[in-house]
């Protein structure tokens, strides 16, 4: 039960926290860092509700131990808005009704952030395949895909064909 | 589903990892990508006392051609294989396999070596390793051991790796320009564990198959090469009839098929036939337009 | 000004998009204990002993309870009106008392200072259980399930018309046996609860409550021996309900009891594996059904018997699901004579409750497959058989001469053939089938089919709403509903905004707080838009009347000359032309002469008639003949909602529901082995659709038949996506195989479909 002190950089802010090695990254973000936006849906890596960006890569926060994230750059849903103003993805999700209960939404937003930040065209099939990484039980996915497509189109990310 | 407590140690080198495993024996397991290990720990099916983190070992993730062989650093993430930057038929095959492994966030962390060490019957890399005669290079406190794929897989989730051994590199012989490779798998949903999968590679010279490698995964406890299918293929043309015959031979000769609530042995046998045939068709189709 | 009917974006979104939601897991109280449930690992057994010493010695463990510690708490009651025959005897204690009856049944609870340590403690609780033979077969011969309780504690009949005469005079009799597999809502957020004893107020506070807070408050207070005033429930954000979350489970009762006894806050969040074996299951039914038809396929009578797998205990819903199944099976067809016998069975598996479209997903599958079988046997087109039997508009309102919940069933309005025609027209049905025929001729196994159903909603009997306005013109609507993520706040705000002539964004909607309004019916059975919507309209009309009366006085103009547009009260309805004042000014004036900071009007809307709406769905699928894998190419939901308050939200419900339904049609099943051991215990076994398994679901939201049961003419939409999906997929697969009616069991897994493919076709 010995704890160790680690440093997590979350959305640009340093958090010095005491953790046990077995504390998952998503648990530490939620509890010690007080950032409850990332959710826990299954704790075996399937549902994706805990998806966050670690060093700009989407990963399952439930399958990393906090100690593994020491010194890494972590981005969560709380870092997306700019002084309360929605970013493009949040605005698109809002306009396209891409969320209902909102539980999968932070994971979807972080996955989508990775998708839109890459400088690679994404076809509709590829987009659907990427969104298949995360489960949603409310929306049926249609509006989530539309919202991300809208942002891709805005940023001039031309479709790569089906 | 929180795991039991453990002591966490970072290995700064392969030697250090081996030394830690020697020191702790059964009490220790290694942590690579964690995408298979951590769920097992969260379910408390495994409760190691010590977790040795391999992720800080320098130069542990790489894809390098050396002579006629591809050297794969054990910590190479699945995602890396989606754009491996390796020429040749093997290099072109890797992304076709990689994109079938789970989903993107899992591929960002999961590793090639981790898959080989975990040896799940549905593992795509295990199937590839067996079919292409990979050599596993294991390190322990007493040195290095080279384990050919034919000897490496023992049973579901069990390999020839001994206590104190850690996989640090995998070598796969590359394929010459006359080879065509294909891969298919059958599962309930995209990204699920494959119920049955097949990797097929045929060497074509002047319209004749001169060599073949047919790998079957997911159907049995350990991945298999189908000698029967390969025997049918070699010495003839790559026709649909020959492929069908090879597929039937593969299905007819596979033994000890797995059975579970997704698919019984009978269904798996049929799927072996279908997957081998389709993998061969995929090999020919993917080869079109190649030099 | 209109906002009803506009697809305005949701008021709920901000908190959820910025990660500041308050789901159960997000809430914490100082000094809280974490509860972890120890669950039975055998399906049936006698508890010989439970050893807790090792667990109690673990660091951080505060207390451990076993059955003896809570033996004084009565079993959880069935909801009033839902009991039938012997079901009351089948209630569940909050911790097993002597006998365990399903894998997952709570045996003990461990309380610790953090959830990791609670789980460490729970691992060391040893239960010695003498195994007893489990009952696992739904259709086994009758026997004893528990002392004095049969494996069939209730059997009932619903009927109307002369069924025997129908069969005697029939040209054809068609028989089938059809089954739906056990599955459930499985929301993405697992269940959880927090309870705090508020010393200052001498009351217990149950946080992260859901679905039916007022109903649960009454039931829970009764169980815990509290006066009603000593218990309040508070809802935060809820990660999906689908019928499963929010019923009173042993776990929530234990959390509250512990907070009461320990006088410390107690928090409980179940994990995914627990959810899959302990939260309500649903859907598992087997029907043996016969249809008597004339030579043209018109159904003269239906004779049905079905078996419903309740699992190991009766849960709060009692006999609700089988009763709804019995009364909704005829669906949108005339069916002049009908008889069904419902057998409620107990088995040693996880108990069952409702799941979205309860009784309708199942019976729509049964009825629509029967229609396809009639078509196959009579060599008629499946669509023609449906048209022949559909209730027509001149037959509305159409009575089914039996009751549900003591209320008669009247399909209030609808032009079913016309709505069906709208779907066929939208998809270009004739051309689509020509294309499918050509594809099949070319060797592809591709098919498309249309099925029909009726949905119900707007369950009363009442809803109370209080609309309050302050001197700044800001409105708060206090309701007794609950949110499970469906957009309750936005829809209610829209209705209020239109009634008051103001911007909906200036309105907050409070729900799920039992200390803000005395009564409530929560969110279930797709009732909120209809019931709460009408109550809101009524209360808002009261506020409007007050504002107009004050404005009439101040503007020296009769009330009937005034209108409110964009928050401004003026003559003739257009602002800027003549004297006017803002809503805020009027409100401030009213309040100046009162000893209150808010205007408040509370109204009750009563309604004992549910609304019934027609839907039709088209699915197009391809089947891989060699692997038996199914691909859904296209899925279209047509639904006559009468009047849509927010079309975008209606579509959201239809699309989401359809994808859940596709899950139940192809992937989702709680499987058990012969010892009652659950096999579907992780998301690697219980498979739900990802984006890759479903197409973009298309919606045709029809507003043709406004409801006649309520002043706003509203109907509901919550269940209309899921209800037909099992039937639609099954029918499409039948079409792809060239064998309408071939599918007799859901989900259509490759393992099952393979058996059908291997049979020589007729």
Cα-only R_g, chain C: 27
Cα–Cα nearest to C552, from C540, C564, C541, C542: C564
Total tally of structural domains belonging to chain B: 3
| pLDDT given at position C522 | 85
Dist CA C678 CA C276 (whole Å): 9
Structural domain contains residue A112: yes
| pLDDT given at position C94 | 98
- Compute the average pLDDT of residues B167-180: 97
B271 and B257 Cβ atoms separated by less than 8 Å: no
Cα–Cα nearest to C753, from C737, C740, C762, C738: C737
Joined together, the tokens standing for residue C145 give: 């399930």
Structural domain contains residue B240: yes
Cα-only R_g, chain B: 19
Structural domain contains residue B2: no
| Pair (A117, A64) in one structural domain | no
Dist CA C335 CA C342 (whole Å): 18
pLDDT in tens, A99-118: 999 999 999 999 999 999 99
| pLDDT given at position A157 | 60
Dist CA B35 CA A45 (whole Å): 7
Burial class (CB in 10 A: 0-12, 13-18, 19+), C422: middle
H helices within C488-595, ranges in order? 488-500, 528-555, 583-592
Strand B153-155 relative to strand C630-640, pairing: unpaired
Structural domain contains residue B58: no
Of A42, A81, A131, the CB nearest to C683: A42
Burial class (CB in 10 A: 0-12, 13-18, 19+), A9: middle
Subunits with 3+ Cβ pairs within 8 Å of C are A, B
Per CATH, which fold does C18-133+190-238+245-278 belong to? Aldehyde Oxidoreductase; domain 3 (3.90.1170)
- Ordered strands of the B50-53 beta sheet: B7-10, B50-53, B28-31
- Domain hosting A40: range is 4-79
- Domain hosting B34: range is 7-53
Joined together, the tokens standing for residue C643 give: 């009047």
In terms of C-beta distances under 8 Å and separation of at least 24 residues, what long-range contacts does C540-544 make, across chains too?
C540/C467, C540/C495, C540/C496, C540/C499, C540/C500, C540/C601, C541/C499, C542/C467, C542/C601, C542/C603, C543/C467, C543/C469, C543/C475, C543/C500, C543/C599, C543/C601, C544/C499, C544/C500, C544/C501
| pLDDT given at position C757 | 96
B151 and B119 Cβ atoms separated by less than 8 Å: no
C690 with B1: Cβ contact below 8 A: no
Dist CA A75 CA A87 (whole Å): 14
Cα–Cα nearest to B197, from B286, B56, B96: B96
pLDDT surpassing 70 at residue A96:
yes
| Pair (B272, B231) in one structural domain | yes
| Pair (A34, A100) in one structural domain | no
The answer to whether residue B9 neighbours chain A at the CB level (below 8 Å) is no
Strand C144-146 relative to strand C61-66, pairing: unpaired
B98 and B85 Cβ atoms separated by less than 8 Å: no
Cα A3 to chain centroid distance, Å, stands at 27
Joined together, the tokens standing for residue C700 give: 């045709």
Dist CA C450 CA C430 (whole Å): 12
Subunits with 3+ Cβ pairs within 8 Å of B are A, C
Q: What is the ipTM of this complex?
A: 0.97
- Shortest distance between the Cα of C745 and any Cα of chain A, in A, equals 23
**Main-chain dihedrals φ then ψ at residue C419, nearest 5 degrees:** -65, -40
| Pair (B185, B102) in one structural domain | no
C240 with A23: Cβ contact below 8 A: no
Helix, coil or strand: residue C398: strand
B chain contacts of residue C272, beta-carbon cutoff 8 Å: 1
B chain contacts of residue A130, beta-carbon cutoff 8 Å: 104
Q: Choosing among C188, C485, C663, which should be mutated to test the A contact, i.e. which has the most A CBs within 10 A?
A: C188
CATH number at residue B262: 3.30.390.50
Cα-only R_g, chain A: 16
Within chain C, which residues score under 50 in pLDDT?
Answer: none
- Ordered strands of the A13-19 beta sheet: A13-19, A4-10, A73-75, A51-54, A57-60
Total tally of structural domains belonging to chain A: 2
The answer to whether residue C694 neighbours chain A at the CB level (below 8 Å) is yes
DSSP E strand boundaries for C556-606 = 562-565, 568-571, 580-582, 598-606
Joined together, the tokens standing for residue C755 give: 């058996």
CA atoms within 13 A on the CB side of C310: 32
CATH number at residue A132: 1.10.150.120
C688 with A137: Cβ contact below 8 A: yes
C683 with A77: Cβ contact below 8 A: no
The structure's pTM equals 0.97
| pLDDT given at position B291 | 41
pLDDT surpassing 50 at residue A161:
no
CATH number at residue B27: 3.30.43.10
Structural domain contains residue A120: yes
Structural domain contains residue A161: no
pLDDT in tens, A28-55: 999 999 999 999 999 999 999 999 999 9
| Pair (B68, B169) in one structural domain | yes
pLDDT surpassing 70 at residue A76:
yes
The answer to whether residue B193 neighbours chain A at the CB level (below 8 Å) is no
Joined together, the tokens standing for residue C582 give: 């803002």
Which of A39, A60, A79 is the last residue in one of the domains? A79
Structural domain contains residue B105: yes
The answer to whether residue B227 neighbours chain A at the CB level (below 8 Å) is no
DSSP label of C183? B
Joined together, the tokens standing for residue C554 give: 């101040």
Structural domain contains residue A160: no
Per-residue pLDDT band for A1 (boundaries 50, 70, 90) equals: low
CA distances from B224 to B74, B268, B276, B278 (A): 22, 14, 12, 17
Beta-carbon neighbour count of residue C227 at 10 Å?
9
Please report where in the chains the tokens 């009454």 appear, as a residue: C218
Q: Which residue of A has its CA nearest to C186?
A: A137
Q: What is the mean pLDDT of chain A?
A: 95
pLDDT in tens, C244-275: 998 999 999 999 999 999 999 999 999 999 99
Dist CA C445 CA C436 (whole Å): 9
| Pair (A63, A124) in one structural domain | no
Per CATH, which fold does C359-457+612-758 belong to? Aldehyde Oxidoreductase; domain 4 (3.30.365)
Peptide bond preceding C397 in cis form (omega within 30 of 0): yes
CA atoms within 13 A on the CB side of B261: 18
Beta-carbon neighbour count of residue C702 at 10 Å?
22
CATH class of C459-606: alpha beta
Domain chopping of chain C, boundaries: 18-133+190-238+245-278, 359-457+612-758, 459-606
For C526: left if phi > 0, alpha if psi spans -120 to 50, otherwise beta; the answer is left
Of C115, C690, C692, the CB nearest to B2: C115
Of B4, B189, B264, the CB nearest to C690: B189
- Shortest distance between the Cα of B86 and any Cα of chain C, in A, equals 29
Which of A62, A79, A96 is the last residue in one of the domains? A79
Helices C725-737, C647-666: inter-axial angle, 10-degree rounding: 50
| Pair (A102, A38) in one structural domain | no
Of B1, B262, B274, the CB nearest to C271: B1
Structural domain contains residue B159: yes
Helix, coil or strand: residue C586: helix
| Pair (A59, A98) in one structural domain | no
Joined together, the tokens standing for residue C275 give: 């959810």
Of C272, C626, C689, the CB nearest to B274: C626
Helices C528-555, C583-592: inter-axial angle, 10-degree rounding: 80
| Pair (B161, B74) in one structural domain | yes
| pLDDT given at position C530 | 86
Helix, coil or strand: residue B190: coil
C 477-516 → A contacts, CB under 8 A: 484-487
| pLDDT given at position C574 | 54
Per-residue pLDDT band for B72 (boundaries 50, 70, 90) equals: very high
């Amino acid at each position: 039960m010995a704890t160790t002190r680690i440093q997590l950089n979350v959305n640009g802010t340093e958090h010095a926290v005491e953790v046990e090695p077995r504390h998952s990254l998503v648990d530490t973000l939620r509890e010690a860092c007080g950032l409850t936006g990332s959710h826990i849906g299954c704790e075996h890596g399937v549902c994706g509700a805990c998806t966050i960006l670690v060093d700009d890569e989407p990963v399952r926060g439930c399958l990393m131990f906090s100690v593994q994230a020491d010194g890494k750059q972590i981005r969560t849903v709380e870092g997306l808005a700019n002084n309360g103003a929605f970013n493009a993805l949040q605005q698109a999700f809002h306009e396209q009704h891409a969320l209902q209960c909102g539980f999968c939404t932070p994971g979807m937003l972080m996955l989508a952030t990775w998708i839109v930040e890459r400088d690679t065209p994404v076809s509709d099939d590829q987009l659907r395949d990427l969104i298949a990484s995360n489960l949603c039980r409310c929306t049926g996915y249609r509006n989530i895909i539309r919202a991300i497509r809208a942002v891709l189109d805005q940023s001039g990310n031309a479709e790569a064909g089906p | 589903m929180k795991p039991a407590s453990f002591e966490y140690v970072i290995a700064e080198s392969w030697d250090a990892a081996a030394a830690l495993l020697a020191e702790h024996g059964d009490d220790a397991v290694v942590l690579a990508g964690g995408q298979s290990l951590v769920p097992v720990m969260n379910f408390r099916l495994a409760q190691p006392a010590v977790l040795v983190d391999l992720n800080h070992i320098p130069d542990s993730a790489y894809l390098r051609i050396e002579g006629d062989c591809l050297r794969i650093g054990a910590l190479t993430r699945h995602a890396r294989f989606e754009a491996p930057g390796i020429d040749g038929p093997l290099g072109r095959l890797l992304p076709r396999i990689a994109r079938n492994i789970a989903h993107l966030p899992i591929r960002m962390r999961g590793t090639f070596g981790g898959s080989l060490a975990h040896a799940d019957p549905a593992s795509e890399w295990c199937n590839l390793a067996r079919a292409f005669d990979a050599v596993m290079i294991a390190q322990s406190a007493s040195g290095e051991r080279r384990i050919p794929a034919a000897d490496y897989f023992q049973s579901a989730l069990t390999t020839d790796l001994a206590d104190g051994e850690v996989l640090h590199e995998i070598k796969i012989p590359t394929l010459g320009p006359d080879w065509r490779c294909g891969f298919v798998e059958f599962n309930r949903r995209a990204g699920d564990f494959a119920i049955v999968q097949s990797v097929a590679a045929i060497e074509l010279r002047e319209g004749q198959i001169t060599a073949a490698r047919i790998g079957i995964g997911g159907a049995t406890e350990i991945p298999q090469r189908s000698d029967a299918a390969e025997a049918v293929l070699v010495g003839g043309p790559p026709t649909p009839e020959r492929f069908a015959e090879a597929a039937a031979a593969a299905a007819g000769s596979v033994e000890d098929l797995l059975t579970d609530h997704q698919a019984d042995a009978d269904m798996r046998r049929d799927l072996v036939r279908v997957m081998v045939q389709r993998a061969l068709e995929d090999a020919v189709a993917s080869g079109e337009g190649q030099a | 000004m209109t906002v009803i009917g506009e697809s305005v974006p949701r008021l709920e979104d901000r908190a959820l998009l910025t990660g500041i939601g308050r789901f159960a897991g997000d809430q914490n109280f100082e000094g809280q204990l974490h509860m972890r449930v120890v669950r039975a690992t055998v399906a049936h057994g006698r508890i010989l002993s439970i050893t807790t010493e090792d667990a109690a010695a673990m660091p951080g463990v505060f207390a451990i309870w076993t059955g003896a510690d809570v033996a004084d708490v009565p079993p959880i009651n069935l909801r009033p009106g839902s009991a039938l025959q012997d079901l009351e005897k089948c209630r569940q204690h909050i911790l097993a008392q002597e006998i365990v009856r399903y894998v997952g049944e709570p045996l003990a609870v461990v309380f610790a200072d953090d959830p990791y340590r609670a789980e460490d403690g729970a691992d060391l609780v040893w239960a010695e259980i003498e195994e007893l033979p489990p009952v696992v077969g739904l259709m086994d011969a009758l026997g004893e399930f528990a002392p004095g309780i049969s494996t069939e504690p209730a059997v009932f009949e619903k009927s109307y018309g002369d069924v025997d005469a129908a069969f005697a005079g029939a040209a054809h009799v068609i028989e089938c046996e059809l089954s739906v597999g056990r599955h459930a809502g499985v929301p993405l957020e697992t269940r959880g609860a927090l309870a705090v004893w508020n010393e200052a107020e001498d009351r217990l506070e149950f946080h992260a409550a859901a679905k039916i807070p007022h109903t649960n408050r009454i039931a829970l207070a009764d169980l815990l021996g509290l006066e009603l005033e000593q218990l309040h429930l508070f809802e935060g954000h809820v990660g999906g309900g689908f019928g499963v979350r929010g019923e009173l489970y042993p776990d929530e009762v234990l959390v509250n009891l512990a907070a009461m006894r320990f006088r410390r806050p107690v928090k409980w969040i179940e994990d995914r594996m627990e959810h899959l074996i302990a939260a309500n299951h649903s859907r598992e039914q087997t029907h043996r059904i016969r249809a008597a038809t004339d030579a043209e396929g018109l159904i003269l009578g239906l004779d049905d018997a079905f078996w419903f797998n309740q699992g190991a205990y009766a849960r709060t819903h009692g006999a609700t699901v089988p009763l709804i199944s019995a009364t909704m099976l005829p669906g949108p067809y005339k069916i002049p004579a009908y008889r069904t016998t419902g057998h409620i069975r107990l088995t040693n598996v996880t108990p069952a409750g409702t799941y979205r479209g309860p009784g309708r997903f199942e019976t729509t599958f049964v009825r629509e497959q029967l229609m396809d079988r009639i078509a196959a046997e009579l060599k008629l087109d499946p669509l023609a058989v449906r048209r022949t039997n559909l209730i027509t508009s001149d037959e509305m309102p159409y009575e089914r001469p039996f009751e549900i919940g003591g209320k008669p069933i009247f399909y209030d309005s609808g032009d079913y053939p016309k709505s069906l025609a709208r779907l066929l027209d939208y998809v270009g049905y004739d051309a689509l089938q020509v294309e499918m025929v050509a594809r099949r001729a070319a060797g592809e196994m591709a098919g498309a089919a249309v099925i029909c159903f009726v949905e119900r909603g707007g369950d009363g009997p009442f809803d109370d709403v209080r609309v309050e306005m302050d001197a700044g013109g800001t409105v708060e609507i206090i309701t007794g509903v609950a949110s499970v993520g469906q957009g309750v706040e936005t829809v209610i705000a829209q209705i209020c905004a239109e009634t008051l002539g103001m911007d909906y964004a200036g309105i907050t909607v409070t729900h799920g707080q039992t200390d803000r309004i005395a009564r409530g019916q929560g969110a279930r059975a797709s009732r909120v838009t209809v019931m709460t919507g009408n109550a809101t309209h009524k209360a808002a009309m009261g506020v409007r009347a007050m504002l107009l009366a004050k404005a009439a006085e101040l503007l020296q103009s009769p009330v009937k000359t005034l209108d409110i547009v964009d928050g401004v009260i003026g003559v003739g309805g257009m602002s800027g032309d003549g004297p006017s004042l803002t809503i805020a000014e009027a409100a401030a004036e009213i309040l100046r002469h009162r000893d209150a900071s808010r205007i408040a009007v509370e109204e009750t809307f009563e309604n004992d008639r549910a609304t019934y709406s027609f839907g039709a769905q088209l699915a197009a699928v391809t089947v891989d003949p060699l692997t038996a894998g199914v691909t859904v190419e296209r899925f279209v939901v047509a639904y006559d909602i009468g009047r849509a308050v927010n079309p975008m939200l209606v579509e959201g419900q239809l699309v989401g529901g359809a994808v859940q339904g596709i899950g139940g049609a192809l992937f989702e099943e709680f499987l058990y082995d012969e010892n009652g051991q659950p096999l579907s215990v992780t998301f690697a076994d219980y498979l739900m659709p990802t984006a890759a398994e479903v197409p973009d679901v298309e919606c045709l939201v029809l507003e043709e038949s406004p409801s006649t049961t309520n002043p706003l003419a509203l109907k509901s939409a919550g269940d209309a996506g899921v209800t037909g999906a099992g039937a639609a997929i099954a029918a499409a697969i039948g079409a792809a195989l060239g064998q309408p009616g071939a599918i007799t069991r859901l989900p259509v897994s490759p393992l099952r479909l393979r058996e059908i493919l291997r049979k020589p076709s007729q």
